[in-house]
Structure 1
Amino acid sequence: MLDSFTHLADWLVYKQLGLSPDTPLGTGLHFFIEDTTKILVLLAVLIYFIAFIRAALNVERVRSFLQGKHRGTGYFLGSLFGAITPFCSCSSIPLFMGFISARIPVGITMAFLITSPLINEVVVIMLGSILGIKFTLMYIAIGITLGMCAGLLVDLVQGHRWLQPFLAKIYQTDNGSSINPSQDSNTHSLTWSERHQFAKSEMQTIFKRIWKWVIIGVGIGAFIHGYIPAQWFNEHLSAGQWWTVPIASLIAIPMYTNATGIVPVMASLIAKGVPLGTTLAFCMSAVAVSLPEFMMLKQVMRYRLLALVIGYLFVAISITGWLFNYFY
């Protein structure tokens, strides 16, 4: 299915408009059309699907398992689920919002959100073939650990308070009961028609709130993707000084790509002599800390939570880069 968006962009940009894939305009416009259509369709489908399932299930049992003594297991499961879902950072946001709507603890949803763009099965195969099984296993462990630590941190500061009001109110209670009737334990008795209407309403409400930010965010990423040459990074980040790691993390933030697309870049940078830790910091920031993602997340998080997530990722990725530069 995902190949359909690539074929659509190929047809529009290269055949109908006659642009060359070797030009910045052709590359950037192809990136914009492919990712905008893919993300918008995924947004609509995933939000509807999650809402439909949520309307049919008794989520109280899920919450009771993940809370309390099972919270640590929840962080791991959230990160693991993120690792097996083939989504980029923007595409994983609908699932994040669905978990929030089901009142799954925010830390567990955050563990999913952080890990999802970093790891998927295609990345594992590509990394294994390019950089070897040892590095691949370390990369997987780092991605899952970053997600679990992010979840713990967000729960420790009670991050649900810093969601946007339309989501934060989901965690508010009135006399011990959820204020959202759709979360009542009897929602599993809804008819198919009622579930459809609930899912349709949920999808329309959320989609209307964030669609324009998808277009703006991907537009910024497309411009950078088409007009900033990769050779610049090779020339400026190969010295290996300590400051190249945080600088690599910072300059990757405006970019927007997925983990699958960044693996060949990672191999290229290493081949050009960029230290492994610096390369890892750059590539992890590009897929996990992109501007388009945070423009979308601003619609579901307040600035305090958004700043916490950005700061955590920047520090954690920088530390990871320093450690790899020191030991390898």
Structure 2
Amino acid sequence: MFIFEWLNNQLLKMEWLHHLVTVLIEKGFGLDPISRVGGSIHFFIYDVIKIFILLSVLIFFISYIQSYFPPERTKKILSRFKGLTANILSALLGTVTPFCSCSSIPLFIGFTSAGLPIGVTFSFLISSPLVDLASVILLASIFNWRIAIAYVVVGLVLAVIGGTIISKLKLEKYVESFVYSNQMISATQEELTTRERLDYSKDQVVEIIQKVWLYILIGVGIGAAIHNWIPESVITALLGQDKWYSVPLATIIGTPMYADIFGTLPIAEALVAKGVGIGTALAFMMSVTALSLPSLIMLKKVVKTRLLVIFIGIVTVGILIIGYTFNAFGHLLL
């Protein structure tokens, strides 16, 4: 137990890095790390370095796993199963695929055109941006393993339930006709060598970091401002755990934004530190990743309004339920 705790603190929470940044702030900048300015700089430097280190390592290993699941192989795996089992498997496969909803939509089109039920593809579409293996590690590094695992479980449950409801409603006719004619190329997948998988993983690290670095910097900057400059009384007055409207308000605030979970984590960290309920913070994260306005605009190009509204409704209700549940029982996990 002691060894696990030490590894968790040093490898995930990176206490060694926290101490180094503290020394840098004190000796290098001549600032008090608990002052507003010093604390903001400390928060920013520490979180940025920690997130980029963890993200690079995690993307590399996740991409290596993902190299075994190209779209054609994933489609073949999913086509072997029906009903709830297919929805569960689709949601699980979403955890090892793209890191934002906009990059998931092309795969959603490919799977739908390949003949997979839309309920199964929607389970994938919900899960892919919402839950991934990297989010487990990053959540554990900021909060703890109980919160991380609980988040993944509820995210997968939401993806499975959402896809199942859409399947039961038989909404195939509300997918744009061109999607069904945009057939996924069925080609024999050449087995990659270990060297090719390593090169692919390295390329994915570079590509994804290039896509998300700005969102991470913005997210950490906002987190630093919340953590050190906005009084706790102001935050709790708006989003305090005792406010019944905090969860829907956080969901509404998150929807117009476009980022991924890596950019929202520092904000959630700062909000929780200021007394915001963990459920409210998670609702904000989920709305940004699953209901971002740019991804909904992209989705509108491939599904008709009724299906889009049902999708938004299901995900929104799911996020609200998850938010209120975590606010009520989250203290047991912290």
TM-score by length of 2: 0.61
Residue pair 2:255, 2:288 contacting (<8 A) in 1 also: yes
Equivalent residue pairs, number: 230
Distance 2:147 2:269 in 1: 12
Match 2:128 to one of 112, 116, 128: 116
Alignment deviations for residues 218-266 of structure 1 (CA, whole Å, 9 cap, x no partner): xxx9xx9899x86586662125321211121112110111012111111
- 1:82 corresponds to: 94
Q: Provide the secondary structure at the position in 2 that maps to 1:263.
A: helix
Distance 1:317 1:247 in 2: 12
Match 1:243 to one of 215, 233, 245: 245
Q: CA deviation at 1:63?
A: 6.6
Q: CA deviation at 1:77?
A: 1.2
Match 2:80 to one of 47, 50, 65: 65
Say whether 1:146 aligns with 2:146. no
Q: Provide the secondary structure at the position in 1 that maps to 2:103.
A: coil
Distance 2:302 2:113 in 1: 11
Residue pair 1:234, 1:269 contacting (<8 A) in 2 also: no
- 1:23 corresponds to: none
- 1:126 corresponds to: 138
Please list, as runs of the form range in 1=range in 2, the aligned pairs for 1:101-112 lying within 5 A after superposition.
101-112=113-124
Residue pair 1:106, 1:155 contacting (<8 A) in 2 also: yes
Distance 2:308 2:235 in 1: 27
Q: CA deviation at 1:62?
A: 5.3
Residue pair 1:63, 1:103 contacting (<8 A) in 2 also: no
Residue pair 2:78, 2:86 contacting (<8 A) in 1 also: no
Gaps of 5+ in 1: 1-48, 171-179, 190-220
The 3 A distance-change label for structure 1 pair 183 and 58 is farther
Q: CA deviation at 1:135?
A: 0.8
Distance 2:106 2:116 in 1: 14
Distance 2:74 2:154 in 1: 33
Distance 2:282 2:77 in 1: 35
- 1:270 corresponds to: 272
Residue pair 2:136, 2:148 contacting (<8 A) in 1 also: yes
The 3 A distance-change label for structure 1 pair 129 and 302 is same
- 1:294 corresponds to: 296
Q: Provide the secondary structure at the position in 2 that maps to 1:66.
A: coil
Q: Provide the secondary structure at the position in 1 that maps to 2:101.
A: coil
- 1:166 corresponds to: 178
Query: Identity percentage over the alignment?
Result: 38
The 3 A distance-change label for structure 1 pair 58 and 126 is closer
TM-score by length of 1: 0.62
Matched AA of 2:305: Y
Residue pair 1:257, 1:286 contacting (<8 A) in 2 also: yes
The 3 A distance-change label for structure 1 pair 278 and 94 is same
Distance 1:323 1:58 in 2: 33
Residue pair 1:162, 1:301 contacting (<8 A) in 2 also: yes
The 3 A distance-change label for structure 1 pair 271 and 96 is same
The 3 A distance-change label for structure 1 pair 141 and 62 is closer
Query: Following superposition, which runs of at least 4 residues in structure 1 exceed 3 angstroms of deviation?
Result: 61-64, 224-227, 229-235
Q: CA deviation at 1:53?
A: 6.5
- 1:281 corresponds to: 283
Distance 1:62 1:105 in 2: 13
Alignment deviations for residues 120-159 of structure 1 (CA, whole Å, 9 cap, x no partner): 2222111111111111110110111111011101100112
- 1:253 corresponds to: 255
CA RMSD between the two structures: 3.4
Matched AA of 2:127: T
Gaps of 5+ in 2: 1-66, 189-214
